[in-house]
Amino acid sequence: MAIKLCGTEYLHVGRNTLYNEPISIVSSAEAEVHIGSFGAIGKNLKILTLNHDYNYPAVQGSLYRHYFESPHPGALGEGTRERTKGDVHIGSDVWIGDDVKIMSGVTIGHGCCIGAGSIVTRDLAPYSIAAGIPCKAIKQRYNDDMVHFLLELCWWDWSDEKIKSNKDFFMSNLSSMSVSDIQALIK
């Protein structure tokens, strides 16, 4: 797969998250990327946790390397808010469409669906359906009771055996069922 990663030691991905290539993730010790389990990621995802720090006379890091044999001063020590807004957290059971960009400091809640071509600059609630530039929630996948139940259930943390034994749950259309109906299915 064609995945371009800078700072792979700062990328943490849960089990069984699948992605279509290519993906570009830029991270460092200043801002890590955490991706949950059982996600589906479209092609051309870009996660940018670092930016140019414009508080210095030159924004270009190569000037500092060429003339002073030093990294850009914004890259030294703790990063400024212009350089990074912090870690990126992507929950479990998240679907991200093609050509999405995710900026630093963003948390994408469990079960969120993000439409193709979106630019995510702010947090997205669990089980929301979001799209746009900038990306914002359009609606929820389920009613509040179901969202609360699923967040407590955390099925993505189940063992493989427990997932297999709950086929009826995974084959259910949750939009047409109540929480008590779903609870009765789970073993």
The CA-based dihedral angle spanning residues 61, 65, 68, 73, taken in that order and rounded to the nearest 10 degrees: 40
State the pLDDT at residue 26. 77
- The answer to whether residue 148 is catalytic is no
Amino acid of residue 77: G
Mean pLDDT (whole number) for 141-162 = 97
The per-residue pLDDT of the chain, averaged, comes to 90
Report the DSSP beta bridge partners of residue 107.
89
- Average pLDDT, integer, range 34-55: 91
Q: What is the pLDDT of residues 6-23, one digit of tens each?
A: 556 788 899 999 988 888
Question: In the chain, pLDDT over 70 holds for what percent of residues?
Answer: 93
The answer to whether residues 3 and 20 touch, using CB atoms and an 8 Å cutoff, is no
Higher per-residue pLDDT: 124 or 70: 124
Does the pLDDT value for residue 2 go beyond 50?
no
Higher pLDDT, 16 or 52: 16
pTM above 0.85, yes or no: yes
The yes-or-no verdict on residue 40 having pLDDT over 50 is yes
71-79 long-range contacts, CB within 8 A, separation 24+:
78/30, 79/30, 79/31, 79/50, 79/53
**In the structure encoding, which two tokens stand for residue 181, read together?**
């109906």
Catalytic residue, chosen from 34, 52, 89, 148, is: 52
For residue range 76-92, what is the model confidence (pLDDT) as tens digits?
766 677 778 889 999 99
- In a 13 Å sphere around the CA of 51, the CA atoms on its Cβ side amount to 15
Would you state the structure tokens that stand for residue 21, as one six-digit string?
Answer: 């290539």
Q: What is the mean pLDDT of residues 105-115?
A: 98
Q: Report the C-alpha gap between 119 and 106 in whole angstroms.
A: 11
Of 68-77, 93-102, 105-114, 121-130, which range is least confident? 68-77
Look up residue 156 and give its two tokens.
Answer: 């993505």
The confidence band for 56, taking pLDDT boundaries of 50, 70 and 90, is confident
How far apart CA 104 and CA 177 sit, in angstroms, is: 37
Q: Structural domain boundaries of the chain?
A: 3-49+84-140, 144-185
- 86/123: higher pLDDT: 123
Which pLDDT score, from 0 to 100, does residue 79 have?
Answer: 60
Assign domain 3-49+84-140 to its CATH architecture. Answer: 3 Solenoid (2.160)
